[in-house]
Structure 1
Amino acid sequence: MRQEVHRKPTPGSVADRPAAPYLRGMTNASDIALTPAAAARVAAIAERQGKPAILRLSVEGGGCSGFQYRFGLAEGIDDDDIRVDTDGATLVVDSISLDLVRGCSVDFVDSLGGTAFRVENPNAASGCGCGTSFAV
Structure 2
Amino acid sequence: MGRDPNPERPATCAQWEAVFGSPPPPYLSVPFMHKAISYEAQCKARGGLPAAARRALNGALKGQKRPGQPQEILSPGAHLVREWNGRTYQVRVVEGGFEMDGRAWRSLSAIAKHITGTDWSGPRFFGLTSRAGRP
Flag whether TM exceeds 0.5 (same fold).
no
Indicate the TM-score class for this superposition, using the shorter chain for normalisation.
under 0.3
More strand by share: 1
Larger relative helix fraction:
2
Report the TM-score, using the length of structure 2 for normalisation: 0.19
Tell me which structure has the larger Cα radius of gyration: 2
- TM-score normalised by L of structure 1: 0.19
